[in-house]
Amino acid sequence: MKAYTPYLSPDETGDVLRDFFWREFELARMCFGWLPSFDTWEQKWWSAQFGYWHARHMRFLEERIRELPGALPDRSSPPAVLRDAYTRISLAPSTRAFWTGYEFLLKQLHLDYDAFLAAADPVTNSPTLDCLQVVLVERSRILGWIASGPLAAYPDGSGSAGPDRDWLEYSAQVLEGADEAMDGDEDAWPPIPGGEPLGPVPVDGHSDPAMIRATTAAVFRKRTRRPTSSTRTKKIPPLRTTSGR
């Protein structure tokens, strides 16, 4: 968790919000990028929903950032080390590992949101606090679904539900290595645990078998359905003129 001082200048506030902005951006990339890898409709839906929410958070943050000095250049991009760290965590070998890494990164972001909200001056930084309260509206829905959904559905080796412990440890090591990588240490990144990445954007996408069966059945019914009296082509009588000719 980062530490923030109570009285930040407009420039310093802009720097904090830009950090939040790019972390929301990378979380959105993770959610949208993993869509083809999920094999259940529920996970595809929630992943797309989370990606949309993160993109919306970016819009709220950008509106506030543009009111402060520095703003965002038109062709700006996230810091290279930040993108590298999130990419490494997103290259998970299973959907359970992905949600473990995503939840870990999201909780780290929320810890920093809370630290900033607790430290920021409510008078001089009131517009920023209002912005972040809107950004955090979906927090409980996101974390609640992850805890009761994918991470509860995939038991670990001991038989208890929860995150993938190996990937959770790896994710924490990646964030620790990011701080050293920013100082120029290219060897700071931990080795990736064994196993081929399942996502994001796999070579072969996955579909929910139940959805495939439902779609195939619907198409078959549509093609074999016999026309009813309401769907048969009706013969249109010839148009008569007012003169009766």
Confidence (pLDDT) at 212? 47
Residues 69, 73, 74, 77, CA torsion sign: negative
pLDDT for the residue 245 = 45
d(CA 48, CA 51): 5
Instruction: Domains for the chain: give ranges and CATH numbers.
Output: 10-188 (1.20.1260)
CA pair distance 47, 122, nearest whole angstrom:
34
pTM: 0.80
Give, rounded to a whole angstrom, the gap between the first and last alpha carbons of the chain: 90
Residue-by-residue pLDDT tens, the chain, 245 positions: 788 988 888 999 999 999 999 999 999 999 999 998 998 999 999 999 999 999 999 999 999 999 998 777 666 788 999 999 999 999 999 999 999 999 999 999 999 999 999 999 999 899 999 999 999 999 999 999 999 999 987 665 555 578 999 999 999 999 999 988 887 777 789 988 877 788 775 545 555 566 445 544 554 565 566 555 555 555 555 555 555 44
